[in-house]
Chains A and B, each alone.
Chain A
Amino acid sequence: MSRHAALPARIPLTGADCFLRAFDAEIARFNGASHLSQLVLRLGPGFDARRLRKLVHEAAAAQPILRAPVRRRYGLGAPYYNLSEATQRPLPAVDVHELEAPPADAGFPALFAQRMNERHPLRRGDLLRFDAVRYAGGTAGTDLAMTWQHLLFDGSGSERFVRWLDECFRGEQRPGVLPNPMEFDPPGAPPRSLGERGAAARAWQAWLEGFGSHPPQSLAGPRRRTPQRLEWDLQTLAESDTERVVAEAGRRAGFLTPMLYYLALAIRAHHAVARARRLVPGSYLVPLPVNLRPRGAEGAIFRTHVSLLWFRALPEQVEDLDRLISTLKEQRLAAIKARQIENGIDAMGFARFAPTRLYATMARRAFGGELCSFFFAFTGEFLGGLDRFLGAEIRNAFHVAPVPPSPGSCAAMSLRSGRLNVTHVRQRGVFSEAEQALFRASLRADFGCGS
């Protein structure tokens, strides 16, 4: 644990951060928004909003990365959080909004989706904000969204930060003391020469470029210059359905690799919509984030520590679910054998020194204008073991992942209190109402829940 005084004036971005910064730069330039993530909590009565504001402000005072501008000296070199400038930046906003009653359809406030489409410039240290929507003064519950620049935390780090806030509330942590953002860097092999790392990065790049032989086509189609208008909805499965689905995922894809089952279902849901449009993409190409941590470590709060595994399914491999899962399993194994997780870390490491939008430009060039077919994440148990947040029962909790207007669709899945949550984030207009219904119906049918 470290206090502000012990921190360096500059904290370098990880390679993965730079990857995400490339998305942010792309979205800022062409779509007028930022690459933001959201963690959403549906809370019961008793939430202490005033205490949240106090805790967040104490945390930001103690840990300047929470509002530190991201800079790059003279536009060159590796970018970094400039901690010495952070104290001149405003504290993260914690806004409370009052509504008389929860939405009749049990949906979430439109404000949350609106927040996903705002500009949060990295250069200004505008990295984090909270919005609490209280119903009937909080007596009918509160919906809370933490929105952040998707490099301040990765998905797992955001969960750790929320846990930490609640530990402070319960007096188990001191708000003025936060884990050092440098607490660990991605684990890797022993130090290697520049030449070896270069070869690894080139292997990863060649792997990616190989996917260009069957270029993906997202449901958004390559659309680069369009205002970002993300919206999202949530499907939550019943406990009995979830129990069956989780067992099925373990049986078909493996107890420790159920994400391949969920990924297969997400591919099939997108395929159902493509088929209805008579669209035959060269392939479905999807990156899957792989969380990295040193052996035995719990994980970091700050900065992103991920690599990417890429999966490709040809349209003819999608119809038969067993064949699709088997294809994904083979690809995962081949990629791990070829050390593509480690190669990805090296490639992202080099990206730290490259022009900001290099990765996005290279990917779009290799994939016929697309970044991929859609984004996907399965994060397992969400905030497992945390039943209350700042005095209120957590009734549901999930992640709203970012996605650029093209590919324009992201399916994020996680488990909360024995129920599967599926958050579908999409660019407005990419899915017609009928297509959204088809997308949901495909997932529900594959989950065995009927339509």
Chain B
Amino acid sequence: MSDWSLETLIEQVHGILRDEILSVENGFSPESNLIEAGLDSLAVTQLMLSIEERTGVWVDESLLTPENLQTSVTLATLVYAQLRSA
């Protein structure tokens, strides 16, 4: 079991997306819709690589369902579940 909390993961995912991957306005929040914000296949892979670098956990792309990719919160929740089961 890792030291990551869900809150920290949400902050991390949101920060990576906001600062490194997407080009978003100030209103981009952890609850913003990611597909509408421009998340595409390459961006999501880059995000997963960044997450792997920080947490050591790789999230297989087949787990990235529309529901999981809805917001930074849903995505972080998926990563958190993976971390807990690792």
Instruction: Tell me, yes or no, whether A281 is within 8 Å of chain B by CB.
Output: no
**Stretch in A247-255, A345-353, A360-368 touching the partner:** A247-255
Chain B residue at minimal CB-CB distance from A252: B62
- On whether the beta carbons of B38 and A254 are closer than 8 Å, the reply is no
A2 to B42, alpha carbons, bound, how many Å? 30
- Given A296-B22, A296-B23, A296-B24, are A341 and B42 also a contact pair (CB < 8 Å)? yes
Instruction: With A256-B40, A295-B22, A296-B23 as known contacts, state yes or no: A333 contacts B62, CB within 8 Å.
Output: no
Check B64–A254 contact: CB distance below 8 A: yes
Q: Does B65 contact A (CB under 8 A)?
A: yes
A8 to B69, CA, bound (A): 43
Question: 1/0 per position for B49-86, CB-CB distance to A under 8 A?
Answer: 10000000000111011100100000000000000000
> Contacts of A329 on B, CB cut-off 8 Å?
60-61
A224-261, CB under 8 A of B: which get 1 and which 0?
Answer: 00000000000000000000000000111111110100
CB distance from A248 to the nearest CB of B (A): 11
Q: Quick check: is B45 within 8 A (CB to CB) of the other chain?
A: yes
Please state if B49 and A255 are interface contacts (CB–CB under 8 Å).
no
Interface size class of B (residues with CB under 8 A): 20 to 34
Main secondary structure of the interface of A (DSSP, over half): helix
Shortest distance in angstroms between B21's beta carbon and chain A's nearest beta carbon? 8
Determine whether A99 belongs to the interface, using a CB cutoff of 8 Å to chain B.
no
Separation of A295 and B47 alpha carbons in the complex (Å): 14
B38 touches A253 (CB 8 A): no
**Interchain CB contact under 8 A, A332 and B62:** no
A333 proximity list for chain B (CB < 8 A): 45, 49
Contacts of B41 in A (CB 8 A): 254, 256-257, 259
**Residues from 239 to 294 in A contacting B, C-beta threshold 8 Å:** 250-257, 259, 290, 294
Residue from B21, B22, B23, B64 within 8 A of A256 (CB atoms): B64
Shortest CB distance B62–A (Å): 5
Which of A's residues lie within 8 Å of B, judged by CB? Answer: 250-257, 259, 290, 294-297, 329, 332-333, 336-337, 341
| Chain B residues close to A by CB (< 8 Å) | 21-24, 38-42, 44-46, 49, 60-62, 64-66, 69
List, sorted by A's number, 21 A–B pairs whose CB atoms are closer than 8 Å. A251-B62, A253-B62, A254-B41, A254-B61, A255-B61, A255-B64, A255-B65, A255-B66, A256-B39, A256-B40, A256-B61, A257-B61, A294-B23, A295-B38, A296-B22, A296-B23, A296-B24, A297-B23, A329-B60, A329-B61, A336-B49
